Amino acid sequence: MKTLHAALPEKLYGEISVLIQEGWFHDEQELVREALQRYLDAHRPELMESCIRADVEWGLYGDD
C-alpha cells in the first residue's frame, strides 16, 4: 500500500475529527480512503472521457 501525506486546513481537519469521534470512521486513514474512492467513483465518467479524448487527439494529430 502506498502512503500519501497531505496538509489540510484546520477547519477541514476539525470536521474530520468530529466524524471520527462520532464513530462514522475508525480513523483518519479510513475517512480519506473512503472520500477519495467516492470522488473517483463520482467522477469516473468525466475522467474516462478526458482520457479517451486525449487518445483520439493523439491518434488524429500525433505527438507533435
Per-residue pLDDT at 11: 98
Per-residue pLDDT at 12: 97
Per-residue pLDDT at 64: 55
Query: pLDDT (tens digit, 9 = 90+) per residue, 10-57?
Result: 999 999 999 999 999 999 999 999 999 999 888 777 777 777 777 777
Asked whether the beta carbons of 28 and 16 are under 8 A apart, the reply is yes
pTM for the model stands at 0.65
Q: Return the C-alpha cell found at 50.
A: 478526458
Helix 28-61 / helix 10-21 crossing angle, nearest 10 deg: 120
SS3 for 47? helix
Per-residue pLDDT at 63: 67
